[in-house]
A = this chain, B = another copy of it.
Amino acid sequence: MRLDFWYEFASTYSYPAAIRIEDVAREAGVQVTWRPFLLGPILKGQGWDDSPFNLLPAKGAYMWRDVSRICAAQGLGFRRPDPFPQSGLLAARVALTLTVSPARAEFSRGVYLAEFAEGRPIAEETTIVEILSSLRLDAAAALAEARSPPVKDRLRAETAEAMRLGLFGAPSFVTRSGELFWGNDRLDAALAWAVQEKQPFRASHADSTS
Give the interface SS of chain A, mostly helix, strand, loop or mixed.
helix
Closest to A189 in B: B69
Q: Are A65 and B180 in contact (CB under 8 A)?
A: yes
A56 proximal to B (CB < 8 A): yes
What is the number of residues of chain A that contact chain B, defined by CB distance less than 8 Å?
22
- With A58-B167, A58-B168, A166-B61 known as contacts, the answer to whether A182 contacts B46 (CB < 8 A) is no
Most chain B CB within 10 A, of A58, A59, A163, A166, is at: A58
Q: Are B185 and A56 in contact (CB under 8 A)?
A: no
8 residue pairs from A and B, CB less than 8 Å apart: A46-B56, A56-B168, A62-B166, A62-B180, A65-B180, A66-B186, A69-B189, A185-B185
Given contact pairs A42-B58, A66-B186, A69-B189, a sample of 16 additional A-B residue pairs in the complex whose CB atoms are under 8 Å apart: A46-B56, A46-B58, A56-B168, A58-B163, A58-B166, A58-B168, A59-B168, A59-B169, A62-B166, A62-B168, A62-B180, A62-B182, A65-B180, A66-B182, A183-B185, A185-B186
